[in-house]
Structure 1
Amino acid sequence: MENALKPASQRVQTFLSERGKALKVKQMPASTRTASEAAEAIGCTVGQIAKSLIFEDKASGNPVLIVASGTNMVSMDKVKVNAGLDLKKSNADFVREQVGFAIGGVPPIAHKQNVITLLDADLKQFEVIWAAAGTPNSVFELTPQDLDDLTQGRWVEISQ
């Protein structure tokens, strides 16, 4: 028996469906809040987790999404050099206000507003990746090409 999706996850599923993607949001019995928890719950490698991190552009104050491989730490210096953005970390209130999702469940899609999106080039090495789907225990499977199509992000080297 499949449980009904929570509203935040349903928003992600609707976004996927409206874009013609046959990708399905799955609610997991265990937490997928962190990359390691998600990998354990799914049964994949931590590198296959596409974690969505929201930063704030220092110049404009706008949100910037970085979708990073679960094993990678974001290098602010590399982002500045490779993408021309000077970023600062954002707090939970900023994330929820700007994209409409809470930290630990931020998906790479279906945000309240358009966001500048940078994609970790390391994700391209995997045939299949997994991303958060709006809650701390919902995910969806996709390919790096799907991620590119859905986010219109820019692939850059961002890891330390």
Structure 2
Amino acid sequence: MTAHLPSRSRLVHDALRSAGIPGEIVVLPDAASTAALAAAALGVEVGAIANSLVFWSDGEPLLVMTSGAHRVDAAALATRLGRSRIARATVDQVRAATGQAIGGVAPTGHPAPLTTVVDETLAAHPEIWAAGGTPHTVFPLTFDELVRLTGGAVLPVD
């Protein structure tokens, strides 16, 4: 039942179900707005956390789903994608693109689909965890489910 979920997380839940992904959204007692906090709260490796990072590139948002164990090399990623530049999105750009706050951006449940890149190293984990639309919500899924859910291009990001 989703009645106990924040409205942003209900949108994520509905998008997961529409995509046939069974993972349940978990509400954490404390905010898990960083990969380290989420990993500690869930008792998993930080590399199994799929960080949702929103960048701005060539006039549009770009969602990068990266392992919590990696940093995104924006210049290298721009080259791989054939983009002129990739820079961190502003707080306002993130909110406009996703409808969600930084620290809780989910890979889905956005007002419109986002161009997405999925960090290839997330494939090493049989189960990964992503934000559920707020800094207090997360959900499990597999790498293949994440790629299918986002329609993302699988690439190295560091």
| Range into which the TM-score falls when normalised by the shorter chain | over 0.9
State the aligned residue count.
156
- After TM superposition, give the deviation of residue 3 of structure 1 in Å: 7.4
Correspondence for 1:117: 116
Contact 1:50–1:130 at 8 Å: present in 2 too?
yes
Contact 2:21–2:141 at 8 Å: present in 1 too?
no
Task: Name the SS for the 2:93 alignment partner.
Answer: helix
- After TM superposition, give the deviation of residue 69 of structure 1 in Å: 0.2
Contact 1:83–1:156 at 8 Å: present in 2 too?
no
Task: Name the SS for the 1:65 alignment partner.
Answer: strand
Task: Name the SS for the 2:21 alignment partner.
Answer: coil
Mapping of 1:49-68 within 5 angstroms? Answer: 49-57=49-57, 59=58, 61-68=59-66
Task: Name the SS for the 1:96 alignment partner.
Answer: helix
State the identity %: 35
Contact 1:105–1:134 at 8 Å: present in 2 too?
yes
Correspondence for 2:86: 87
- After TM superposition, give the deviation of residue 30 of structure 1 in Å: 2.0
- After TM superposition, give the deviation of residue 32 of structure 1 in Å: 1.1
Correspondence for 2:8: 8
Contact 1:100–1:112 at 8 Å: present in 2 too?
yes
TM-score normalised to structure 1 length: 0.93
Correspondence for 1:155: 154
- After TM superposition, give the deviation of residue 81 of structure 1 in Å: 2.2
- Distance in 2 between residues matched to 1:72 and 1:143, nearest whole Å: 18
Letter in 2 for 1:81: T
Contact 2:75–2:86 at 8 Å: present in 1 too?
no
Runs of 4+ in 1 over 2 A off after TM superposition: none
Contact 1:121–1:157 at 8 Å: present in 2 too?
yes
Letter in 1 for 2:28: M
- After TM superposition, give the deviation of residue 64 of structure 1 in Å: 0.3
Letter in 1 for 2:141: L
Tell me which of 70, 75, 95 is aligned to 1:72: 70
- Cα offsets for 1:111-146 (capped at 9, x unmatched): 111211001011011111000000111000000011
- Distance in 2 between residues matched to 1:54 and 1:8, nearest whole Å: 17
Task: Name the SS for the 1:88 alignment partner.
Answer: strand
Unaligned runs of 5+ in 1: none
TM-score normalised to structure 2 length: 0.95
- Distance in 2 between residues matched to 1:126 and 1:45, nearest whole Å: 9
